[in-house]
Amino acid sequence: MAATINEQIEDRATKALSSDNVPKLYINGFIIFFGQGDIGLVFEQNNRPTATVNMSYTLAKTLVEKLGNTIRDFEEKTGNIIMTTDYIAEKMNQESADESNKQ
């Protein structure tokens, strides 16, 4: 019996995660840049670059859609809304401003 597409994807991910030849990165920041023919990312850990990735606009848009769908599915299943870094920064800046106004 042939594996389903989801099983094939899960198998590919498992192989990549268990391979010593595939770099594993943790990032907590990124920078986006673009040119005429492609778009790129600089992955960062604690404001230090760790890797760069270039891709076509088509692949970038597909990635955005797939990531968005995955996060939405997670949020729906868990009832937990994931905050963005922009939202967190805004709230932290707002709290700092509120504290300054109290003084």
pLDDT at 3: 83
Q: Provide the token pair at 13.
A: 């991910």
Q: What is the pLDDT of residues 27-68, one digit of tens each?
A: 999 999 999 999 999 999 999 999 999 999 999 999 999 999
| Rounded to 5°, angle at Cα 40 from 68 and 92 | 60
> 6 pLDDT band (50/70/90 cuts)?
confident
Within 13 A of 99's CA, how many CA atoms are on the CB side? 6
What average pLDDT score do residues 2-7 get? 87
Q: How far apart are CA 58 and CA 38, in angstroms?
A: 9
pTM to 2 decimals? 0.77
Residue 82 in 3-state DSSP? Answer: coil
Q: How far apart are CA 69 and CA 42, in angstroms?
A: 23
Question: Given a cut of 90, is residue 96 above it in pLDDT?
Answer: no
